[in-house]
Amino acid sequence: ASIPEGQREAWKKHSVQGFTTKDQFEDETVRHIETTLARSLFNCDELAAYSGAALAFRDRLIIEWNKTQQRQTFADQKRVYYLSLEFLMGRALDNAMLNVGLKDVARAGLKDLGFRIEDVISQEHDAALGNGGLGRLAACFLDSMATLNYPAWGYGLRYRYGIFKQEIVDGYQVEVPDYWLDFNPWEFPRHDITVDIQFYGYVRKEKDEDGKTVTIWEGGEIVDAVAYDVPIPGYGTATTNNLRLWSSKASKGEFDFQKFNSGEYEGSVGDQQRAETISAVLYPNDNLERGKELRLKQQYFWCAASLFDIVRRFKKTKKPWSKFSDMVAIQLNDTHPTLAIVEMQRILVDIEGLDWAEAWSIVQGTFSYANHTVMPEALEKWSVPLMQNLLPRHLQIIYEVNSQFLQYVEKTFPKDRDMLRRVSIIEESQPKMVRMAYLATIGSHKVNGVAELHSDLIKTTIFKDFVTIYGPDKFTNVTNGITPRRWLHQANPKLSELIASKLGGYDFLTDLTKLNKLEHFLDDADFKKEWQEIKYANKVRLAQHIKDTTGVSVNPKALFDIQVKRIHEYKRQQLNILGVIHRYLTIKAMSPEERKKLAPRVSIFGGKAAPGYWMAKTVIHLVCSVGEVVNNDKDIGDLLKVIYIEDYNVSKAEIITPASDISEHISTAGTEASGTSNMKFVLNGGLIIGTCDGANIEITREIGESNIFLFGNLAEDVEDLRHAHTYGDFQLDPDLNKVFEAIKSGRFGDAGRFSALCNSIIEHGDYYLVSDDFNSYVKTHELVDEAYKDQEAWLEKCITSVARMGFFSSDRCIQEYAEMIWNVEPLPPKE
Ligand code: F58
């Protein structure tokens, strides 16, 4: 529906221009406060100021969004679609201000209107549509794709409730629902973009006019998917990409007006609510798949809506299907969107009438799959009966894909009969299960891991047979990265400014390798002093946050030792807190002279436990209980404090990350696929203590072994160590034993509450090898203490490390995906 030529001049004359000056920003902000929000200068609190400023920036973003979408539509070039069930975006206003380069304008404007920009920014509710690393990676990728001008869309679900809010009550985690949509200026509902999504029903075959057999899936129920668009501004570019989130709604066709009119009002509203349940809540498990029907419904709902949208857009180009994978790349963020592969095959064969083989080669050319874990409990499997009921046609397609694949394998490897059982998409269990990682691998042209060690491991474990079948080239590595815009410039503005002052501008934010020039300033005393003052100020800010939220005073001069991430046994927060208890016992036994030599420490923990993960919740409780005792022990004073920061999320990470002296990335070797907070801490001038796992290994390679505290067993030894535990060939570490004795004596409260946690290590095989790594961990912390005493040398390590972190920008990562996997080119704005 475009405007006729004759009227376009009028349009152009009235076309909205975004603000650029302080005055214009104030005009827009006040206009929104007075009209959109119906408030006045007699009734304007910080929340209203935030709302007005956000709406002013939103207007600006949408103008560029419109131009970008126009440009991408006319460009006739390949686009990429990033399918992720999670986007952990955090706050948008600060990011929008910085990316469009108008934060100073906004600061001055808000000051005129009577507000401090920090207070206004902190009014915003985090968009927390993700669990942890995987969801945040998707958000960093959106930032990089826009910044690098790639024509790229994200597709996800618009959950009404994001990850729960965590409260710590009497030392226990309590979950509170995160209703975040009360006021969300960053989304644009597109009620005109609605897709019918079908579930259940049955499949039949019939002959069409030409006598060709066609498959029809009918019956069942229909739910509507409504699009909500979120603009994604690039940094320092006009490119503004789109994140499209789908929301579920009862279908107009389906909504039971019969019932409604015949007075069964409640019944009909019930149907409506059932439909809305699909996009209601984000599943709060990280690294655990539980096979719930509603989760499968979410996956199909989102995949089908996204595929419909992508196909519709392609069809507008009028190109033949054979050109599809030249125009479209679809990236699967883990296996959660694997049904998109099946849906695409269904569209091509059942609806568009392509023959099977041609369709399948288009599908394989289009999709690529990133794996984020090798842990068996996190690998997705869906029960065949469940899928048969919910998606009968898709199950048929999966069986057909499997059958053709197995025929090929049988022909190619006739001697290995067992291989068929091993690689089959269908696991012959009771009930049978669909192995989604295998389906994703077979349906994609590339599969990647997210750090070198991890990419090597997947080739020798879960995908070993597939490497034999397809050859090694199908499998590749793209080491994760983080966006320096949010994780340096936004979270640590003073450090960013100092760096810019030395490097002659902010170019490093779009070419992070430029940081290496910082090594030239290692002898610059003023620079180093400023650096140290910034770190100190960041610690003061975190200390204030700790005081405000927990009531505990911590000394900002102490060594801040931080572990913030989801609570999981494999990430080994238990190793950390057991080490803290060991430290406490050691200090208690020290003479006053010895104590004088010790650097005071603050051990800071944060992170959410999945609501049903009892062991993780016990770890939280142990940390809090130890904190209770240690923080109130007058004899210890500042020498040790133990803090649990409630409700760790993206906006808290922005305060916490710049404030570390050391942070902990201590997973059992071979379990953490990559980790990304390790990169954030180092980029902010903190050192890390870590195992030889995930991206820690590559961080070490980049920054140098002398700038990181590595400890513990290697991935290649884990299997043997576990074997030794199982066969009783193992002795509990004696220092760790003392720690357990202290816990058992009731020193940190009722010992019974911690017995399962202790016994998982003492009696039940110590699967995560806490005891095996304990001594090495404690010794390495002693090295940290020693190193921290030489502040000058410590500072040099920090600056050198930052200088060498260029590799870990998500820009590098997106460029690798674009060149090696997607084969897409950037589309920079004109001018
Ligand atoms: C994480 N996975 C990895 N999964 O654990 C981490 O090492 C890696 O750095 C990161 O991905 C990015 O590649 C992760 O966060 C989840 O949270 C899933 C949520 C849905 C259920 C299964 C786990």
User: What's the pLDDT tens digit per position in 547-573?
Assistant: 999 999 999 999 999 999 999 999 999
Which helix (H) or strand (E) covers residue 196, if one does?
strand 188-199
Between residues 285 and 343, the one the model is more confident about: 343
259 band by pLDDT with thresholds 50, 70 and 90: low
Nearest to 345 by CA among 327, 334, 330: 330
Ligand 1 pocket, 337 CB below 6 A? Answer: no
Tell me the per-residue pLDDT of 621-674, one tens digit each, with 9 for 90 and over. Answer: 999 999 999 999 999 999 999 999 999 999 999 999 999 999 999 999 999 999
**Which residues, in sequence order, are bridge partners of residue 829?**
none
Sequence-ordered list of residues with C-beta below 8 angstroms from that of 362, at least 6 positions apart, any chain: 321, 322, 324, 325, 344, 348, 354
Sequence-ordered list of residues with C-beta below 8 angstroms from that of 456, at least 6 positions apart, any chain: 449, 477
DSSP state at residue 406 = H
Tell me the per-residue pLDDT of 473-489, one tens digit each, with 9 for 90 and over. Answer: 999 999 999 999 999 99
226 CA to middle of ligand 1, Å? Answer: 27
Tell me the per-residue pLDDT of 5-20, one tens digit each, with 9 for 90 and over. Answer: 999 999 889 888 889 9
SS3 176: strand
58 assigned to active site: no
Between residues 830 and 568, the one the model is more confident about: 568
137 CA to middle of ligand 1, Å? Answer: 9
Give the per-residue pLDDT at 267: 77
DSSP state at residue 765 = -
Stretch 389-396: mean pLDDT: 98
CA dist., res. 265 & res. 257, Å (int): 9
337 CA to middle of ligand 1, Å? Answer: 14
Is the CB of residue 374 less than 8 Å from the CB of residue 458?
Answer: yes
Ligand 1 pocket, 345 CB below 6 A? Answer: no
Stretch 66-75: mean pLDDT: 96
Nearest to 509 by CA among 681, 683, 675, 696: 683
DSSP state at residue 262 = T
Tell me the per-residue pLDDT of 718-733, one tens digit each, with 9 for 90 and over. Answer: 999 999 999 888 899 9
Residue 761 is which amino acid?
A: I
Residue 342: exposure state from Cβ atoms within 10 A (0-12, 13-18, ≥19): buried
Q: Do strands 165-169 and 172-176 pair parallel, antiparallel, or not at all (unpaired)?
A: antiparallel
Stretch 392-400: mean pLDDT: 98
372 assigned to active site: yes
Tell me the per-residue pLDDT of 612-625, one tens digit each, with 9 for 90 and over. Answer: 999 999 999 999 99
Ligand 1 pocket, 378 CB below 6 A? Answer: yes
Is the CB of residue 642 less than 8 Å from the CB of residue 619?
Answer: no
Catalytic residue among 571, 582, 601, 652: 571
Query: Quick check: 293 pLDDT over 80?
Result: yes
CA dist., res. 52 & res. 28, Å (int): 8
Ligand 1 pocket, 480 CB below 6 A? Answer: yes
pTM for this model (two decimals)? 0.98
494 assigned to active site: no
* Atom 20 of ligand 1, residue of closest alpha carbon: 286
SS3 409: helix
Structural domains of the chain ordered from first start: 12-75+92-125 (no CATH), 76-91+126-479 (3.40.50.2000), 484-808 (3.40.50.2000)
264 band by pLDDT with thresholds 50, 70 and 90: confident
Mean pLDDT across the chain:
96
* Atom 19 of ligand 1, residue of closest alpha carbon: 286
Looking at beta carbons, which pairs linking 202-205 to residues 24 or more positions away fall under 8 Å? Answer: 202/392, 203/392, 203/393, 203/396
Q: Do strands 152-157 and 213-218 pair parallel, antiparallel, or not at all (unpaired)?
A: unpaired
Strand locations in 300-395 (E): 328-333, 367-370, 381-383
CA dist., res. 681 & res. 689, Å (int): 11
Query: Quick check: 258 pLDDT over 70?
Result: no
Tell me the per-residue pLDDT of 757-769, one tens digit each, with 9 for 90 and over. Answer: 999 999 999 999 9
Tell me the per-residue pLDDT of 164-221, one tens digit each, with 9 for 90 and over. Answer: 999 999 999 999 999 999 999 999 999 999 999 999 999 999 998 889 999 999 999 9
Query: Quick check: 255 pLDDT over 60?
Result: no
Tell me the per-residue pLDDT of 743-753, one tens digit each, with 9 for 90 and over. Answer: 999 999 999 99
Query: Quick check: 604 pLDDT over 80?
Result: yes
676 assigned to active site: yes
84 band by pLDDT with thresholds 50, 70 and 90: very high
Which helix (H) or strand (E) covers residue 241, if one does?
strand 240-250
Q: How far is CA 808 from CA 566, 699, 711, in A?
A: 21, 8, 22
SS3 81: strand
334 CA to middle of ligand 1, Å? Answer: 8
Q: What is the dihedral of CA 743, 746, 750, 751, to 10 degrees?
A: 40
* Spacing of C-alpha 156 from chain mean position: 13
Give the per-residue pLDDT at 254: 63
Query: Quick check: 392 pLDDT over 60?
Result: yes
Stretch 779-805: mean pLDDT: 98
DSSP state at residue 24 = H
CA dist., res. 723 & res. 727, Å (int): 6
Which helix (H) or strand (E) covers residue 216, if one does?
strand 213-218
Query: Quick check: 57 pLDDT over 70?
Result: yes
Number of H helices, E strands in the chain: 34, 24
Query: Quick check: 513 pLDDT over 60?
Result: yes
Is the CB of residue 800 less than 8 Å from the CB of residue 50?
Answer: no
Query: Quick check: 23 pLDDT over 80?
Result: yes
Q: How far is CA 758 from CA 95, 570, 628, 674, 753, in A?
A: 43, 15, 19, 28, 10
Residue 327: exposure state from Cβ atoms within 10 A (0-12, 13-18, ≥19): middle
Query: Quick check: 576 pLDDT over 90?
Result: yes
Nearest to 105 by CA among 24, 21, 27: 21
| Max CA distance (Å), the chain | 95
Stretch 403-432: mean pLDDT: 97
CA dist., res. 217 & res. 351, Å (int): 10
* Atom 22 of ligand 1, residue of closest alpha carbon: 287
Stretch 574-589: mean pLDDT: 98
Ligand 1 pocket, 134 CB below 6 A? Answer: yes
Query: Quick check: 378 pLDDT over 90?
Result: no
Q: What is the 3-state secondary structure (H, E, C) of 585-653?
A: HHHHCCCHHHHHCCCCEEEEEECCCCCCCHHHHHHHHHHHHHHHHHHCCCCCHHHEEEEEECCCCHHHH
SS3 729: coil
CA dist., res. 823 & res. 367, Å (int): 12
Query: Cis omega (within 30 of 0) on the bond before 431?
Result: yes
Q: How far is CA 134 from CA 84, 131, 285, 648, in A?
A: 9, 7, 12, 16
Among the ranges given (35-49, 244-258, 683-697), the one the predictor scored with the smallest mean pLDDT:
244-258
261 band by pLDDT with thresholds 50, 70 and 90: low
571 assigned to active site: yes
Q: Listing from the earlier edge strand, what are the strands of the sheet with 152-157?
A: 188-199, 221-233, 240-250, 152-157, 79-83, 328-333, 367-370, 446-449, 475-477
Burial 267-293 (b: 16+ CB within 10 A, else e): ebeebbeebbebbebbbbbbbebeeee
Q: Which two tokens stand for residue 467?
A: 């490497």
CA dist., res. 44 & res. 52, Å (int): 10
Give the per-residue pLDDT at 609: 98
Between residues 448 and 208, the one the model is more confident about: 448
Nearest to 462 by CA among 473, 451, 447, 452: 447
Ligand 1 pocket, 284 CB below 6 A? Answer: no
Burial 459-475 (b: 16+ CB within 10 A, else e): beebbebbbebeeeebb
Ligand 1 pocket, 133 CB below 6 A? Answer: yes
452-460 vs 696-703: helix axis angle to the nearest 10?
140
617 assigned to active site: no
Burial 179-188 (b: 16+ CB within 10 A, else e): ebbeeebbbe
DSSP state at residue 348 = I
Query: Quick check: 252 pLDDT over 80?
Result: no
Return the ligand 1 atom nearest residue 285 CA.
21
Sequence-ordered list of residues with C-beta below 8 angstroms from that of 709, at least 6 positions apart, any chain: 662, 687, 688, 689, 690, 780, 783, 784, 787
Give the per-residue pLDDT at 737: 98
Q: Which residue has the tokens 């000056």?
A: 21
256 band by pLDDT with thresholds 50, 70 and 90: low
Ligand 1 pocket, 672 CB below 6 A? Answer: yes
Q: Which residue has the tokens 């690798």?
A: 816
Rounded to 5 degrees, what are φ and ψ at 323? -95, 0
* Probe residue for ligand 1, chosen from 84, 285, 287 as the CB with the greatest number of ligand atoms within 8 Å: 287
* Atom 2 of ligand 1, residue of closest alpha carbon: 134
Ligand 1 pocket, 625 CB below 6 A? Answer: no
Give the per-residue pLDDT at 285: 87
